[in-house]
Structure formats: structure tokens, C-alpha cells
Amino acid sequence: MRYTHPMTSHNPPLPQAFSRTIASVYGDAGRAWLQRLPLLLEQLADRWSLTVGPPFLPLSFNHVAPALREDGSRGVLKLGVPSRELDWEIEALRWFDGRGAVQLLAAHPVEGALLLEHVLPGTDLSRMVPKDDDQATTIAAALMKRLWRRVPPGHTFPTVADWASALSRLRLRFHGGTGPIPAELVNRAEGLFGDLLASSTQQALLHGDLHHGNILAGQRETWLAIDPKGVVGDPGFEVYALLGNPRPLLLRLPDPRRLMERRASILADALGMDRRRLLDWAFAGQVLSACWSVEDDGPAWQESVARAVACAELLWTARASCP
């Protein structure tokens, strides 16, 4: 029996914000992909015998929609502009193999397509912030330890050092300057990355973007990670996304710095790591996040940069007060 995507001419168009983001980030390739998307959905629905529903909203950089499989089980069809990033996500999910992460049911890297386990109930960890933030942080720490893998032999994943090169690209882009990111923060991040990378004694395959929105309540496992970036590096780097999220909620709290400090203490104890070093990684990672927002140049890039900078400044203050 053939299952096809129910997209027809009377279906509403893609959200304008999503289309703008894809066109802004990927240029002509992104615009061509958007035009192909309806046909691509139909082709993949046929290939994998799926009935694909309307996408989950809001969409960001990928088209993500629920799908019903031929055997009646549920899945999620994720489509993005084919890229190395999606290739790394597919490979990371293969290595995680469903342990602590959503299961990869099928993949078509050439088309930037992933068929994923549908995590239910699927509520994310951000609902616990700030009321049950200690518990949320403890859950995230346990998931980190469950996810991390030994560095795969012959892997093609980027390393944390590769990612840190975005700081150099920022300076090239602004002819030695730092553009919208305060130079003082970039200088500090460059110094910390140099020190942290040189002193690292552990390497692992990391999720790379393990914030509250990427940790979902499930049934197969109580908590499952989604949307891994797939990066190899010091496990301490993994905390940067958690300490600076969920935005903008975190930055609206009465004392976000204190919350960050509390999280750092819980993570340090749970992971057996030095608290000051974790804050160093988190600060450097938030400055790096600001650099990525500049590079993405999406519709809301200025707001994204401002929030990452605000988080970095709070983390620097927390770091300075750390014994």
C-alpha cells in the first residue's frame, strides 16, 4: 500500500519566517530546496511508506513533521538542506544507537532526510525552569553521561577546536575587529579556548547542543535527546548550552547569574568535574554561540547575538566569583 504526503494546492504555504531563514542562511541553494520541498516530501513518503502530517511549529532550520508508518507506528520526518551538519547528525544518532537519544529509523543523507522515533509525550525540559531547575539540571547531567561515547575510530566529526575557529572567522569578517560582539568577550574566549583545549585530558563524542529544548520526556526511556550536532571534544564543553538556556526565559529571571552558578555546582558534582573549568567552557561556548548567530545571518540574528552575549557576561561574572 502506498502512503503519500497529503500536501495539495489548497494546503497553507510554509511559514514565512521559516522560508526567510532558509533563504538567508543557505542563499540560492536554500531557495531551490524550498521549491523542491513539496515534491521531496512526497518522494520520501513513498520511499518509506509514510503518511506525513503538517509540520511541527515553529520551524527553525529544518522541516519537521509527524509521520505514520505502514505498520501503524509513529515517526518523525525531518528534512533539511543537505549539508555536512545533517550528515554529522545522522552519524551521531547511529553511534548513540537509541541509548539516551532518539532512535534513527532511516536516513537519506543525499536528500538531507531523517526518519526518527516519535518521542512521546515529548514535553521538553524547559517546562521545569525555574521551579524545578535543580531537578532539570540533574536530569541533564545523567543524560550527558548516558550519551557520551568513545571517540569513533576514523570519524569525520568536527572537533571542539574546529568549532572554536569561528572566532578567527569573526575577526576575518570584520577585518580584525569583532563586529557586534564586544571585543573583550572575544579576547577572553580565545584565551580560554586555547587553555582549555591544551589542558584537556579526555575526548568523547558529544551531543554538542544539549539544551533544555533538546531533552524530551519519553516512554522508551524517561528522557531522550534530540537534534545532536555530533562533535568530538572535552566532555566539559557539553555544559555550555544547558547553562545558557532556555532563552529568553533565563534572562528574564530575577537573578539568572545565581541560577547559572547553581547549575554549574550541580553539574560539577554529578559529572565529577571542576566547577571553575565548567564555567570556563560555558563562557567560551556562549561567545562561540554569538559568533554562529553572526554567521547564520538569519532574520533574528541580532537578537540571538545579544542574548548569547548577555549569557556570556553573566557566566564571566559567575566565573570570577568562583574560588
Is residue 299 predicted with pLDDT exceeding 90? no
Domains in the chain with CATH codes: 16-117 (3.30.200.20), 125-320 (3.90.1200.10)
Mean residue pLDDT of the chain comes to 94
Compute how many other C-beta atoms are within 10 angstroms of the C-beta atom of residue 254. Answer: 7
DSSP 74: E
- Provide the pLDDT confidence category of residue 12 given band limits of 50, 70 and 90: low
Residues 245-261, mean pLDDT to the nearest whole number: 96
Distance set, CA 147 to CA 135, 206, 265, 318 (Å): 18, 7, 21, 27
**DSSP string spanning 199-217?**
H----EEE-S---GGGEEE
Query: What pLDDT, on a 0 to 100 scale, did the predictor assign at position 300?
Result: 77
Active site residues: 209
Quote the CA–CA distance of 101 and 228 in Å, as a whole number.
9
Cβ neighbours for 13, distance < 8 A, ≥ 6 positions apart: none
Query: What pLDDT, on a 0 to 100 scale, did the predictor assign at position 7?
Result: 40
Is residue 11 predicted with pLDDT exceeding 70? no
Residues 65-73, mean pLDDT to the nearest whole number: 96
Query: What pLDDT, on a 0 to 100 scale, did the predictor assign at position 24?
Result: 87
